[in-house]
Structure 1
Amino acid sequence: MIIQTFHDLTVELLAVLEDRTIAEREDKIERFTQLIDQRDALLSQIKPPFTFEEQQLGRATMLLNEQVDRMLSLQKLEIKRDIQEINKKKKSSNKYTNPYESLSIDGMFYDKRN
C-alpha cells in the first residue's frame, strides 16, 4: 500500500528532524533529504479512489506533514542564524587583522593658521 509507505516515511522524517542525538548537521540534512526524495517519488503514485482506511491514513499523514513543515522551518532558521554568525565573526576577524581598512583617507590637509 503506497499510502502506508508514504505515512511511514513521514513518521521517519519527523523522527530524524526531532532527533537531537545526530551530531553532524550534514548527516542529518543528507538523511532527511533522502527521505523527502523518497516521499516525492511516492507522491506521484498516489491516485484515487481511496478506501476508508487510506483516507484515515492520509489525514494522519497530513497532520504529520504540518509538523514536518514546522521542523524544516526551524532547521532553516537555525542554519540562517549560523551563517549570519559566521559572517559576523569573519567581519570582526577582518577588522582585527587590518584595523585601518575602514578609515577613509581623502588626501586632504587643512591648515588652520591662514
Structure 2
Amino acid sequence: MIQAFHELTAELLAVLEDMTFAERQDKIESIIELIDRRECILVQIKPPFTDAEQQLGRRTMVLNQQIDSLLKLQKQEIQRDILEINKKKKSSNKYMNPYESLSIDGMFYDKRN
C-alpha cells in the first residue's frame, strides 16, 4: 500500500511540475483524480511498518511537501487570474456604460427668497 501511495504521490508531483497555463484545466482534472486515488489508499495504510516502508514513507512526505508548495502556487495563480478577469470585466463595463457610476442624487438649493 505504501508503495502505491508513493507512486501516486510521485505522479502527482510530476503533473504539477509540468503544468502550463494552456493546459491548466486538463491538469486540474487529473490532479483531482490523483488526489482522490491517494485518499483511498491512505485510508487503507495501517501500522506496523517495516523499515523499508518507513523509509518510503519519509520520502513520500518530502514529495508531499513539494506538492503542497506547488499547489499553493497554482492557487495563487488562479486567484491572480480571477482578479485580472474581474478588473477587465469592470473596465469593459465602464467603457460600455461610462455614465453608470455618476451620481444623480444631487440637489440644487436656490438661495433667493
For residues 1-48 of structure 1, the C-alpha deviation after alignment (integer angstroms, 9 at most, x for no partner) is: x10010000000000000045732110100110000000000000000
* 3-state DSSP of counterpart to 2:8: helix
- Matched with 2:107 is 108
- Matched with 1:28 is 27
Equivalent-residue separation in structure 1 for 2:72 and 2:19 (angstroms) = 16
* 3-state DSSP of counterpart to 1:87: helix
Give the alignment of 1:27-106 within 5 angstroms: 27-106=26-105
User: CA 1:7–1:23 in structure 2 vs 1: closer, same or farther (change >3 Å)?
Assistant: same
Report the aligned-residue RMSD: 1.4
Q: 1:9–1:35: 8 Å Cα contact kept in structure 2?
A: yes
TM-score calculated relative to the size of structure 1: 0.92
Matched residue pairs, number?
Answer: 112
- The range that moved more, 23-32 or 8-17, is 23-32
* 3-state DSSP of counterpart to 1:44: helix
Q: Please, which runs of 5 or more residues in structure 1 have no aligned partner?
A: none
For residues 71-110 of structure 1, the C-alpha deviation after alignment (integer angstroms, 9 at most, x for no partner) is: 0010111001100000000000000000000010115224
Equivalent-residue separation in structure 2 for 1:89 and 1:73 (angstroms) = 24
User: CA 1:22–1:95 in structure 2 vs 1: closer, same or farther (change >3 Å)?
Assistant: closer
Over 4 Å off, 4+ runs: none
Residue 41 of structure 2 aligns with an amino acid whose one-letter code is: L
Percent of residue pairs identical: 73
TM-score calculated relative to the size of structure 2: 0.93
